Structure 1
Amino acid sequence: MKLVKSHNPNFRWVVLTVATVAQATACFLVQGLGAFAGYMQEALRLNAFEIGLLVSAAQLFPVIGLLVAGELLDRFNERLIVGVGSLIVAAALFGSSYATNYRELLAWLVIVGIGYSTAQPGGSKSVSEWFSKSQRGFAMGIRQAGLPLGGAIAAASLPLVAANYGWRAAFLVGSGVAFIGGILFIIVYRAPIVNTQNPRAVSIKAALHNRLSLLSHPSMRNILWSGITLITAQYGIVIFLVLYMHDRFNVSFENSANILFVAQCAGVVGRITLAAWSDQSKHGRYFPILTSMGALILGLIMLLILATKSLVILFILAAWLGFFGFGWYGPWVAYVSELAPPERTGFALGLAMAINQVAVILSPPLLGWLRDITGSYVTTWSLLIAILISSIIMTRPRKKLRIE
């Protein structure tokens, strides 16, 4: 059991910085894939389903990898696990740039997911250990802002790279960014100094039961269902917003990528703001998550009924979708880490994120398939609205119970 934190508490801000950078750089290419998907679609002659499948490939291994990473993080230092994971991402993206066909590209992206499995729970656990409950939501929001931050920078840069040098060059840039982030984390990060008691010897069967018992706890209902629905909406926006703007409003790929850039930037602000709000909310940490669902429903309805082609209005709508569609993750991760027992924080984060990964794998190709068979995105956005409404109904506000 951990008893004493480090005697240099100001170092927590350094930890927060490198954890955020590691997150941003590890997810840079995958989060920016939608921004230059149009160029890949034309070069490789892909349909919407195949574009969605590229994202699914990168998210396939984390279904298991997040559980493994979470368990390793409860036993070993985050420095090596997160750092090496980022280097695996870099190596796999480098290999992706030399893929000779679509299937080979899918295989490389599966390997990307192996490395990426460590970034999410590793960075979250490092922040949760360095920050007290009163600041944890705010700190977690900053750290989780790394994902839309990386996506925003990718949306601003990768389409230009792809337009001028081809989609392979975009993958090379993503490889270099992930490499720099991994090396920085390995060099800078240090775990907090704690006094520990020797743990009791526990059988493998008992340890497995102890961890899987998290699934039966009532509080996991809100965690899992809200995560699944919101992550589905998030990836629907990330992957298909650019293509939708191009198809529905005849916006150029360049301007469509700028619209996604605005959404990602708003997501950065949303993750910090909503997480900070969750620290102070009188209705509990889950209330900002519930609010995000309602706001997303409104934004997606506007996306469906909007008739104007005004770029200003499209940018404003994108900012709304980004703020809530990406911002929910900050308070959600803080919610998970706060409910879990300290000795199972890593596994709880890995478990919740792994279940989210199932939705991440299935939703992009499913949403793309719906577009392909109907010829429009009306069914795609309508499905997202429906599952968000169901999530609000199923996860009504309730008294928070800590998992024991």
Structure 2
Amino acid sequence: MARRWLILVVGVVAQATTSSFLYGLPFLIPELRASHGVSLTEAGLLVSAPLLGLLCALVAWGAAADRYGERLVMAAGLLANGVLLAAALFLPGLVLFGCGLLLAGAAGASVNAASGRVVLGWFSARERGLAMGLRQTAQPLGLGLAAATLPVLGERFGAVVALALPAGLCVLAGVLVLVVVVDPPRPPRPAVTSSPYRAGPRATLLRLHAASALLVGPQFVAATFAVTFLVSERGWSPVDAGRLVAVVQVVGAAGRIVAGVWSDRVGNRLGPMRVIAVLALVTMVAWSVGDVLGSWLAVAGLVAALVVSVTDNGLGFTATAELAGPFWAGRALGVQNTGQNAVAMVAAPAFGALITAFGYPVALAVAAVFPLAGAVLTPVAGERRLAAGVDAVEVEVRP
């Protein structure tokens, strides 16, 4: 079906628009601190609010996608996200504003749960790494869009005007989903579907969820504090720092595609994922050491961390859906994304507090522990055993 590529494009657009809001708020931290006088820790709590909403709603949205289809779930969530975010902009006080962001984040969780599922449903196993790699470019592209626009709009017009952009884009994306997306065909549903969390892949799935969650650590430390680090520690302007991050996000998006093609070529997802985890460890150490030395290595390590730390996401998502099977993929992807966003939600306030108390070098050294543990936990051998036919749960292959 030729239309599957158009559906893939719309899935990328939908995810990018919600990502520009969910993960783009940190680019407004300098403006929030300057105009509202919030501390770095308070700003970290505020930007974590939509991630808390996302965290609470992912599994429910995934179950809805398993039952009712991806098109309806994605469109409803996008439209609600845009409306709720627009409404939050008019709420008085930071507490109510944060509550509005939380509700908008919960609505945006629909896209995280369903857009990956619809892509996986339309592509066969030999193309799935490439397809999901393309789909996973959405987050860095959304971050790039946020980095290129939010600091400029925030500096000139304030945070309210800046956030009106992703609100409007979410509504437009919801309409696009309704017009273009078609749910992939599914095999007849058996009377009883066995949970993959009770079957043979259980240990492999749980280790995969844990490893993927840990690998989010360096990704969100880099994304959350990149602009703030360059402004406060290197004397850059917020606009210049945002431009650098925007360009780097495009490179990170390309890295996700390369990782997906790599996994298709080698016939597994988790071997490449472990290699990327080791590289993420190296980048965080380089950033920390460079900051201690006050050298160019700090910016180079930051840039490398922004690129490398995002490239594993598509591999973890693809492996999760393949292990879970067609009737549990939405829920399994919801669990996968819940673990990742739990770490992401904690990362901003926790590392904001660490940086405030001990400085960037110590905080970055702590962040380096996450990819180290993720590399150890990545269940490469478990995936290979299942691929060889031992207790494998097969995903339906689409034409």
Note whether the superposition's TM-score is higher than 0.5: yes
Match of 2:231 in 1: 246
Counterpart of 1:329 (choices 313, 318, 324) is: 313
> Who is 1:381 aligned against?
364
Residue number among 176, 183, 189 corresponding to 2:168 in the alignment: 176
Q: Which residues of 2 match residues 1-400 of structure 1 at below 5 A? A: 9-194=1-186, 196-197=187-188, 199-200=190-191, 202=192, 210=195, 212-213=197-198, 217-281=202-266, 284-306=268-290, 307=293, 316-374=300-358, 376-395=359-378, 397-400=380-383
How big is the shift at 1:314?
A: 6.6
CA contact (8 A) 2:113 2:330 kept: yes
Are the counterparts in 2 of residues 81 and 122 from structure 1 also a CA contact under 8 Å? yes
8 Å CA contact retained: 2:74, 2:115: yes
**Structure 1 319/215 Cα, relative in aligned 2: closer, same or farther at 3 Å?**
farther
Local SS of the residue matching 2:20:
helix
Secondary structure in 2 matching 1:20: helix
Residues in 1 aligned to 2:334 and 2:237: alpha-carbon distance in whole angstroms: 39
- Deviation of the 1:215 alpha carbon: 10
Once the 2 structures are TM-superposed, how far is the Cα of residue 243 of structure 1 from its aligned partner? 0.9
CA contact (8 A) 1:19 1:127 kept: yes
How far did residue 366 of structure 1 move?
A: 0.7
Q: CA deviation at 1:315?
A: 6.3
1:89 counterpart letter in structure 2: N
User: Which stretch of the first structure deviates more once superposed, 285-294 or 317-326?
Assistant: 317-326
The 2-side partners of 1:94 and 1:176 are apart by 8
Q: Give the TM-score taking structure 2 as reference length.
A: 0.90
Q: Gaps spanning 5+ residues in structure 2: where?
A: 387-391, 395-399
CA contact (8 A) 1:66 1:117 kept: yes
Shift of residue 227 of structure 1?
Answer: 1.1
Q: Is the 8 A contact 1:141 1:330 kept in 2?
A: yes
CA 1:302–1:197 in structure 2 vs 1: closer, same or farther (change >3 Å)?
A: closer
Contact 2:50 2:103 survives alignment (8 Å): yes
**What CA deviation, in whole Å up to 9, does each residue of 1:339-378 have, x standing for no partner?**
112211111111111222221222211111111222x122
Residue identity matched to 1:199 = P
After superposition, the Cα gap between the structure-2 partners of 1:46 and 1:112, relative to the gap in structure 1 and judged at 3 Å, is same
1:199 positional shift: 3.3
Could you tell me the percent identity over the aligned residues? 24
What is the rounded CA distance, in whole Å, between the counterparts of 2:8 and 2:45 in structure 1? Answer: 32
Aligned 8 A contact 2:147 2:245 in 1: yes
Query: Residue 131 of structure 1: CA displacement?
Result: 0.3
Q: Distance in 2 between matches of 1:102 and 1:214?
A: 46
Match of 1:6?
none
Q: 1:93 to 1:215 in 2, by over 3 A?
A: farther
Give yes or no for contact 1:28–1:151 (8 Å, CA) kept in 2.
yes
